Structure 1
């Protein structure tokens, strides 16, 4: 274990990260049912069951990948210190690594929109016409696999430890659940939130059917990447916003096997 072990217990981080993900997901799902932004949402249970089924399949990749990631990062840290060569104290080192991970998440998300092959898989996420907290877990298993394969050598290069990934997940996952949620929050709160994180109003534009809108606001945990790279977009009024993809809202297309097969359709 690297210097992060001086600040955090690995087992505590793992428990806290997983527990926070589940707790925030349940909390947001309950609250968005009581105070929704899109009031026309129906059959929330069926929608959640579909997205959670996709998420459960992804665990078949994420669980063994997490074990491999922990082993490979520990091994690479013994050979290559990465950011550790700067000899920073544990807290600044963790902040720097977390910023680099979040930058990678921005770039990876943007690549999924701008690369035709990757978009075929990422479009499963965008084909959801009912945006809520469970949408944050709806990703095609091939996209998850590509992401895991690409980020491992990057994390090894930067000298990240599994502790950094768990700490990043602890902060990032509730943010992703929050900005995918169907919560109706005061405009002033959304305004404050989007200075730091992608707010729900920001991310709803990202799920617009209009390409000029859904090719914006790629940030995962922090919103300033979009401002820095010129992909930030905001609209005060979303009354005319249409979520999803054209021709994908039909119930036949919103079935588990149809979504798994979607990237391979001509």
Structure 2
């Protein structure tokens, strides 16, 4: 399953980067260094996620924890197991994401993702490895208790991967298409609001796959008429080249200067002209 996920991640990244070259929201300026940095951080983060189950089972084995019972024991039909698996995994992703903005120590980790001053497909997996470790350790016990069909877990992971990569894309979709899709799935314009440096916007639109959760829990923020083109991405602090190095990003959560929240945005034009 790990091989399938990794293959899908590479394929999604390549596909969205190709789409970005055809219809970019913003012109990319010398992105190769940034892509290399994001790629290195992504390898560390995704590697941590995929390795965490091994660490978990090393502890769970002696404790007698097994993937038995759960939905199968409860007698749920297969289709209902799949639906519940999707809803549970999306709700866990939403809850953990929202907590990552609300709890200062989690925000210090998650801020590494938000500190990217541009937004494109390479931002998707730009996470601190410790954030992925925490997320995996919190998710695995729920999956063990639920014991969902492994194929359902893989299917959700692949769908969420595709949508997340697309939603981080530097893409200019037709306004009518983005408006129509964002009622069903997270779109680039919808998620771009979440990466705004303006705190009321960055603390909203948390959904990974289904905007329904944002609407249910009143965390949805409307997309600006320009599709988020004029928003400033990232955080107000740590925008210089030194702060954006791989070593600095790995140290960032432990820095005394790490901001607990996103700060008010400057207009994009002012930032680009600085």
Q: Compute the TM-score of the two structures, normalised by the length of structure 1.
A: 0.87
**Pairing partner for 1:259 from 249, 254, 257:** 249
1:42-81 to structure 2, matched below 5 A, reads 42-67=29-54, 76-78=66-68, 81=69
Give distance in 2, aligned partners of 1:136 and 1:66: 21
Is the aligned partner of 1:103 residue 2:98?
no
Q: Distance in 2 between matches of 1:203 and 1:131?
A: 10
Shift of residue 67, structure 1, vs aligned partner: 4.2
Q: CA 1:171/1:70 → structure 2, altered by over 3 Å: closer, same or farther?
A: farther
User: Can you give the 5+ residue segments of structure 2 that lack an aligned partner in the other structure?
Assistant: 257-274
- Secondary structure in 1 matching 2:66: helix
Backbone CA RMSD of aligned residues: 2.1
Tell me the alpha carbon deviations over residues 112-161 of structure 1, each in whole angstroms, 9 at most, x when there is no partner: 00111100000000000110001001000110111111111111122234
Q: Is 1:250 aligned with 2:240?
A: yes
CA contact (8 A) 1:17 1:167 kept: no
Q: For 1:199-220, what per-residue CA distance to the aligned partner results, in whole angstroms no more than 9, with x for missing partners?
A: 1111111000100000000001
Q: How many residues align?
A: 251
CA deviation map 1:8-31 (0-9, x unaligned): xxx6xx655443322121011122
In structure 2, what is the equivalent of residue 231 of structure 1? 219
Deviation at 1:98, TM superposition (A): 1.4
The Cα shift of 1:85 comes to 3.7
Please give the alpha-carbon distance, in whole angstroms, between the structure 2 residues aligned to 1:248 and 1:115. 20
Q: Is the 8 A contact 2:195 2:202 kept in 1?
A: yes
Partner of 1:198: 186
Kept in 2: contact 1:69–1:162 (CA 8 A): no
Q: Which residue of 2 aligns with 1:164?
A: 152
Partner residue in 1 for 2:76:
88
Residues 21, 60 of structure 1: alpha-carbon distance in 2 compared, 3 angstrom cutoff: closer
Q: Structure 1 unaligned runs (5+)?
A: 1-10
SS in 1 for 2:152: helix
The answer on whether the counterparts of 2:13 and 2:122 sit within 8 Å (CA) in structure 1 is yes
Q: Report the counterpart of residue 133 of structure 1 in structure 2.
A: 121
Q: Which has the higher helix share?
A: 1
